[in-house]
Chains A and B, each alone.
Chain A
Amino acid sequence: MAEKIIAYRFDRLDQTLSQLNNENCVIIAGGTDVMVLHKSRRGVPPKIPKPIVFIDHLSELKRVYQNDKDLHIGACCTYSELLEDPFIPSPLKDAIKTIAAPAIRNRGTLGGNICNASPAGDTLPLLYIYNAKLLLRSVKGDRIVAISDFIQGPRRVQRDHNEILAEIILPSILEGGSHVVFEKVGNRNADAIAKVGFAGYIRLNGARIDDVRFAFGAVGPTMVRSMDIEKKLLGKTVPLAAADIAQIVAAFDKIIKPIDDQRSTALYRKTVALNLLRYFLSMKQYQPN
């Protein structure tokens, strides 16, 4: 006999939040990570230790809208929905296209990718360099937290059990004027877990660097980003001098500490991460995208 599982699927977000306030539950948006995490061997259903709350259908969590220059993305928007949405910046769409395959993209959500907090989460490097802020909602109200504070380690996030990630806010993104690149390095072109992820952001005033950001995925327990290193480039002009590039690369060389595993080697991950960084820094010009 299959064991009984309690599952909730409320019509509205407020009902969902009050249930979460009463009971510690596992939240399922798309389920593409939760179902894999709790998978049993063949012929036995997944063993999920807590009651389940489905949130994938809640329209309150599926809106994409502009608020001043900020972009708000509902946490339960599926990847496929985001690919169709005119507000979503093209580098983020490019990143989404590298995730899994169409079937997973039809189920998986942006909020899920964040809350799963995988070291190899495909959208995370970009969200880090967009300075994404997360809107968490509970019966007690809303709070906003930076993505880099929210994600604490592999599969560890700063979410209270009565909270739902409601929105991802990309501040000032609609101002434009920045050049953003994203590169996912996987073992194949679909259904691959990243061996290295890289996102670079640069905003120029003429030839002078006003703002620059980098994030690396799959080379540590969480995304690697360093404001201290980024600051060293502020005010410099492009094309950057070889010495400046070398200084930045050397600084990241010190803090990127990948591991060997069944998918790749530490040496490869580090070399490629630094190659992608060096390439980004060596570009002769940056077109806003």
Chain B
Amino acid sequence: MDLKDISTSVPRKDHKGKVSGQLAYISDVKVENMVYGVLYRSPIAYGKIISIQLPNLPEGYEAVGAEDIPGPNYVKIIKEDQPIFANDWVNYIGEPILMLVGGDLNILYSLLDEVKIELEEHQAIYTLDKAIKQKSVPGVNMASYEFGESLEIISAIELKAHQIIEEEYDTGYQEHVYLEPQGMLAIYKEDEIVVQGSMQCLYYIKNALLSALACGDDDVRVVQSPTGGGFGGKEDYPSMMACHVAVAAKAVKKSVMLVFDRSEDMVVTTKRHPAKLKYRTAIDKDGNILSMCVEIFLDGGANVGLSSVVLQRALINSAGVYKIPHFHSKGYVLKTNTVPNGAFRGFGAPQSFAGIESHIGHLSKLANIDPIEYKRKYLVKQGDPTITKGNFRDPILMEEMIEDLLNASDYKKKKVEFQTFNQQNQRYKKGIGTSLFLHGCGFTGSGERDHIKATVKLVKSKDGKVILKISNSDMGQGIYTTLSKIVAKELDILYEKVLYPDPDTKEVPDSGPTVASRTTMIVGKLLQRAAKKLKDQWQSGVEQEVVEHYVHREMIPWDEKTFTGDAYPAYSWGVNIVEVEVDTLTGNLKLEKVYANYEVGKVIDDRVMKGQIDGGLAQGLAYGYLEKMTSREGKIQQKSISDYGPPTSLDVVTIQSKVFDNPYADGPYGAKGAGELTLIGGAPAVQAAIEDALQTSFQQIPITPEVIIESLWMREGEEG
């Protein structure tokens, strides 16, 4: 492949199938001897199952439940707290209890209505606030960590401080709204169950199946189907669906398909954790920060799932991109009887960045300094320690990126112009806001070395084609293209000669899950090394195979117990500036301009990166003001896309973005992670812009029109 610069865009490998509508997703698939599954779900938030009475099932229709599971009744993720089929206690509305299978969905739906269940209902915890109050009740605190400066030292500092600033900040649910709802098919064969579907993590699913089916390594196989978006929603959740279909297939000796429609998907699948963040900061008389304590509460929902890991990332990012003197942080995952929350692009970081950017912004107002200038005073620099006593050892270009974006957006001039505009216009108010952020690439700590241990394989065919054998999913983010490109460039062969078939655990080694902004940086680097090796041994006309294993970068070892060490091997960085216009009559917001600078080491494909920027920012901005999901007595209220309200093309403006080069030695061609980073700055920047427009402070996201109108109404009350 002859590209002067690896970043130059090439046609995406999946382009034709997708734009022509020809690509078959899992719900398009039909196999011989296939039946459908539908789930009977808990109607209550918390209680004990007393009895279940099934209707008379017609021939060809069967019920599958906990008693049909060959292995233990839990979905293997981290802890053993999530039943495949609840058969004793139910912990949230929508928890799967049993599955009905049969040939006709119409009949299955009416049979579902006839299932009778007797339950003994218990007092549920519906909200995070309630869970915080009951934190000490056994079972409520599902995970917690604490680290940083000793509280005695902080108390001493606070005693002498000019002022202590305390703030409480709330973040809401976020729903992934992947274009393709969740779907999974188990193909029944006598000697093997093949599970196929929409997914991010083939080996997570395989491990869950080995446990649930209590079977041998060769008895089960996982194949990824074309996946229409994941955003983390297909990291943990598909393991449960895979267990459902595989257990059912084994029980009824038929292939079983389980596909959700949008409304089912929206109410029962995982979401971004709602959070409460508390800040307690000591300042001197000039508004300088003397110490800071952060407390984070995540609403885990009914099972812990991946929540403890999400909390770790939230805590590691709790100081944002700042070097805060005397910093202390502590966090909890609390149980509520609501739909379990799980992985979502950013994985705990978006909550933390929204909170810290908000808090620092408010501190800057107290100090009477422009937020961006106040933030710059505390910006971390190369060589600075991290809050976990790790080290920012690579160059940091944030100053350069900020300066560039201030110029691109004409920030200072806009500030003045908007003030004049706002004085003259009664109805509309304009504002401009910034956010500074980073994202740690790859698994936290030594996870890559100790847990993932990624392996990749390249196979060269006799006719000179090279096939990628890895377990990573293209879910629309573009790794078919970028990883193929890395291999083609390294081998100096045509891009078209590099093939990347849908991963199948029978064919591919475990190169790890497709999560944590790790794929390009870690799997890409392994592939680059494998390609280099293959090139050295290249022989025409013969089949060849090379394998590469993960090598860990030298770092300060991570200790999860003390929460110290290098949390990540590398960091990607970003700056956002957002301009908004607020309609003070309706509280509606118009995004006027969005500017973004990022540093991701080195871009592997400009257009793929632009896709990540535009999509990530749209999702991040919407998290700050648009997308609103609520739960009432354990029930998700928004069951349709229009009620939930993710942005349309009429809500987002052209995003003016630039990516800075800062090659990273352990990434392919210098690349680091990019997928999650692009989301993180959206919400805090939009909040800052709204605050600038209305000259007020908010303590929550999303800042919906309802929140704005209430705030304006309260202010009117105070003034009147």
Residues of A in contact with B (beta carbons under 8 Å apart): 40-44, 101, 183, 185, 187-193, 195-196, 262-265, 267-268, 271-272, 275-276, 279
Determine which of B261, B427, B642, B645 lies in contact with A41 in the assembled complex, contact meaning CB atoms within 8 Å: B261
Cβ–Cβ < 8 Å partners of B378 in chain A: none
Q: With A190-B649, A276-B585, A276-B586 given, is the CB distance from A185 to B705 under 8 Å?
A: yes
Residues of B in contact with A (beta carbons under 8 Å apart): 36, 105-106, 109, 259-261, 264, 427, 585-588, 626, 628, 630, 637-639, 641-643, 645-651, 704-706, 709-710, 713
A176 to B649, CA, bound (A): 35
Asked whether B647 lies within 8 Å of A188 as measured between CB atoms, the reply is yes
Asked whether B105 lies within 8 Å of A41 as measured between CB atoms, the reply is yes
Cβ–Cβ < 8 Å partners of B649 in chain A: 190
The 4 A-B pairs of least Cβ separation, nearest first, read: A42-B261, A189-B650, A187-B645, A262-B637
A52 to B109, CA, bound (A): 24
Q: Shortest distance in angstroms between A127's beta carbon and chain B's nearest beta carbon?
A: 22
Interface of A is mostly: loop
A183 to B586, CA, bound (A): 10
Q: Using CB atoms, name the residue of chain A closest to B622.
A: A188
Q: Shortest distance in angstroms between B40's beta carbon and chain A's nearest beta carbon?
A: 13
Asked whether B713 lies within 8 Å of A188 as measured between CB atoms, the reply is no
Determine which of B648, B704, B710 lies in contact with A189 in the assembled complex, contact meaning CB atoms within 8 Å: B648
Asked whether A268 lies within 8 Å of B705 as measured between CB atoms, the reply is yes
Determine which of A42, A43, A44, A192 lies in contact with B642 in the assembled complex, contact meaning CB atoms within 8 Å: A192
A264 to B588, CA, bound (A): 13
Asked whether B651 lies within 8 Å of A189 as measured between CB atoms, the reply is yes
Cβ–Cβ < 8 Å partners of A101 in chain B: 648
Q: List 25 A-B contacts (CB under 8 A).
A: A41-B109, A43-B259, A101-B648, A185-B588, A187-B626, A187-B628, A187-B645, A187-B705, A188-B648, A191-B642, A191-B648, A192-B645, A195-B705, A262-B630, A262-B639, A262-B643, A264-B706, A267-B706, A268-B705, A268-B706, A268-B709, A268-B710, A272-B586, A275-B586, A275-B709
Asked whether A190 lies within 8 Å of B586 as measured between CB atoms, the reply is no
Most buried by B among A44, A101, A279: A44
A190-B648, A191-B642 are known; give 7 further A-B pairs, CB within 8 A.
A44-B105, A188-B646, A188-B650, A192-B645, A262-B637, A268-B705, A275-B585
Interface of B is mostly: loop
Cβ–Cβ < 8 Å partners of B651 in chain A: 188-190
Q: Shortest distance in angstroms between B369's beta carbon and chain A's nearest beta carbon?
A: 34
Most buried by B among A43, A191, A193, A279: A43
Asked whether B105 lies within 8 Å of A272 as measured between CB atoms, the reply is no
Cβ–Cβ < 8 Å partners of A40 in chain B: 106, 109
Q: Shortest distance in angstroms between B181's beta carbon and chain A's nearest beta carbon?
A: 8
Asked whether B642 lies within 8 Å of A193 as measured between CB atoms, the reply is yes
Asked whether B650 lies within 8 Å of A190 as measured between CB atoms, the reply is yes
Asked whether B648 lies within 8 Å of A279 as measured between CB atoms, the reply is no
A262 to B267, CA, bound (A): 13
Cβ–Cβ < 8 Å partners of A189 in chain B: 648, 650-651
Q: Shortest distance in angstroms between B102's beta carbon and chain A's nearest beta carbon?
A: 12
Cβ–Cβ < 8 Å partners of B259 in chain A: 42-43
A188 to B36, CA, bound (A): 36
Q: Using CB atoms, name the residue of chain B closest to A279.
A: B585
Cβ–Cβ < 8 Å partners of B648 in chain A: 101, 188-191
Cβ–Cβ < 8 Å partners of A272 in chain B: 585-587, 705, 709
Most buried by A among B586, B588, B646, B709: B586
